[in-house]
């Protein structure tokens, strides 16, 4: 197996991720993917020989309106059927899960005890080391310029360093997938959507809390060592909160917004954080960065064989869920590449074909 990386491993969106791992989705396939992936995250060291801490401290959603609580409650029958370990929680329970949190404006919440968070770059290092020990070759600084196609099949890729012939090519190329697939006359509806993260100085009193998310605003916070990491919605020109893109571009991949943190976000985060917890009143932001979500029209990835082009496969468009589902995606797409279909979980609904035919098997959901 040969992996071509145009920069360095982890230099793209991986380095910018918050690292969340959750089961709280509204589509059964997403939960099944999380269950398969979480089994791997729990046994990462046994599977790879490297250390990665999956901090299984839960995901806590809090709602500031009765409508929000009703929306949180809606998928509970699915969670119960899937034995996902999710329950509705009261103000009192929220205050127990996050000591000191402000709850006088909270109507209720939902907690997934099997959820948590990890470290994308540490995990990537473990994956890469294990793959190399199993015979994989990594070539960094080699950009794929185009796909090589002969009739109805792919025959390899073209790089600045020459052509590489291959019977099977997997595009795990995030928000750059549309442009690359287009070189083989394959339209792929994936585009970049900038999101930002900030990190505080030490706040050790909150070092063991769940990843906490305000349902209505999309404001997140989670520990990173003794610090806190904050994820936030984008702000529109008129100051409104935007948890997801307003719509798809007219052509893919659309525009790549500069990877800079908009100046309006830090004051918003400081105010929102100080309102939510007294530990954040004197918040010191020590770092901030932006990265791209790789969006699709239904906020779900494209995984599997490309219809009509033998040997070409895609695993991209995860819309913010790529890290948590990475182990499951890898297993399932390899099953399809080697056996003709994924056997552990049926991923037919993730095929590129759904956009070609107009099927809509999922509910859109971005945090």
Query: To which H or E segment does residue 222 belong?
Result: strand 220-224
The residue among 172, 156, 191 whose CA lies nearest residue 292 is: 191
**Dihedrals phi, psi of 335, to nearest 5 degrees:** -55, -45
- Pull the structure tokens for residue 193: 């959507």
Share of the chain above pLDDT 70, in %: 99
User: What integer best gives the mean pLDDT of the chain?
Assistant: 96
Place of tokens 């956009």: 355
pTM listed for this prediction: 0.95
Q: What is the pLDDT of residue 367?
A: 66
pLDDT band at 245 (very low <50, low <70, confident <90, very high): very high
- Are 171 and 179 in contact, with CB atoms under 8 Å apart? no
pLDDT digits (tens, 9 = 90+) for 7-27: 999 988 887 889 999 999 999
Q: How far apart are CA 304 and CA 315, in angstroms?
A: 7
Omega into 37 within 30° of 0, i.e. cis?
A: no
The residue among 197, 209, 363, 365 whose CA lies nearest residue 291 is: 197
pLDDT band at 363 (very low <50, low <70, confident <90, very high): confident
**Side-chain-facing half-sphere of 316: CA atoms under 13 Å:** 27
Over residues 47-66, mean pLDDT: 97
Q: How far apart are CA 214 and CA 216, in angstroms?
A: 6
Fold (topology level) of 55-116+192-295: D-Amino Acid Oxidase; Chain A, domain 2 (3.30.9)
- Whether residue 366 is predicted with pLDDT greater than 70 in this model: the reply is no
Provide long-range contacts, Cβ within 8 A and 24+ apart, for 331-335.
Answer: 331/36, 331/40, 332/36, 332/303, 333/170, 333/303, 333/304
Over residues 79-98, mean pLDDT: 98
Over residues 88-112, mean pLDDT: 98
- Whether residue 137 is predicted with pLDDT greater than 70 in this model: the reply is yes
Q: How far apart are CA 220 and CA 235, in angstroms?
A: 15
Q: How far apart are CA 122 and CA 76, in angstroms?
A: 33
- Pull the structure tokens for residue 293: 């979500």
pLDDT digits (tens, 9 = 90+) for 271-281: 999 999 999 99
Torsion angle, alpha carbons of 129, 131, 133, 137, to 10 = -100
Determine how β-strand 162-165 pairs with β-strand 153-159: antiparallel
Residue 112's DSSP bridge partners are: 59, 86
Share of the chain above pLDDT 90, in %: 93
- Are 31 and 25 in contact, with CB atoms under 8 Å apart? yes
- Whether residue 227 is predicted with pLDDT greater than 80 in this model: the reply is yes
Q: How far apart are CA 205 and CA 215, in angstroms?
A: 24
């Amino acid at each position: 197996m040969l992996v071509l990386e145009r920069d360095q491993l982890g230099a793209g969106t991986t380095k910018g991720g918050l690292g969340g791992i959750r089961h709280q989705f509204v589509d059964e396939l997403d939960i099944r993917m999380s269950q398969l992936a979480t089994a791997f995250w729990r046994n990462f060291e046994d599977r790879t020989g490297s250390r990665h801490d999956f901090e299984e401290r839960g995901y806590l959603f809090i709602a500031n309106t009765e409508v929000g609580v009703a929306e949180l409650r809606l998928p509970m029958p699915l969670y119960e059927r899937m034995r996902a370990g999710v329950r509705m929680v009261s103000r009192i329970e929220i205050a127990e899960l996050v000591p000191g949190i402000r709850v006088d404006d909270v109507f209720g919440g939902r907690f997934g005890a099997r959820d948590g968070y990890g470290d994308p770059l540490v995990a990537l290092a473990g994956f890469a080391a294990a793959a190399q020990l199993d015979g994989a070759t990594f070539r960094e600084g080699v950009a794929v310029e185009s796909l090589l196609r002969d009739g109805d099949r792919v025959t390899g890729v073209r790089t600045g360093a020459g052509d590489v012939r291959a019977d099977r090519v997997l595009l795990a190329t995030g928000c750059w997938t549309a442009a690359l697939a287009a070189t083989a006359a394959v339209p792929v509806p994936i585009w970049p959507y900038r999101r930002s993260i900030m990190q505080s100085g030490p706040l050790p009193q909150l070092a063991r809390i769940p990843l906490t998310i305000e349902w209505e605003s999309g404001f997140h916070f989670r520990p990173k060592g003794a610090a806190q990491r904050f994820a936030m919605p984008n702000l529109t020109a008129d100051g409104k909160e935007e948890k997801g893109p307003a719509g798809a571009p007219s052509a893919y991949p659309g525009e790549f917004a500069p990877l800079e943190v908009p100046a309006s976000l830090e004051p918003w985060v400081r105010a929102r954080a100080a309102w939510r917890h007294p530990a954040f009143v004197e918040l010191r932001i020590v770092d901030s960065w932006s990265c791209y979500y790789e969006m699709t029209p239904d906020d779900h990835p494209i995984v599997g064989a490309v219809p009509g082009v033998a040997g070409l496969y895609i695993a991209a468009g995860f819309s913010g869920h790529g890290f948590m589902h990475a182990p499951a995606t890898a297993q399932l797409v390899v099953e399809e590449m080697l056996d003709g279909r994924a056997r552990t979980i049926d991923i037919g609904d993730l095929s590129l074909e759904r956009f070609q035919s107009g099927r809509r098997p999922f509910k859109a959901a971005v945090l």
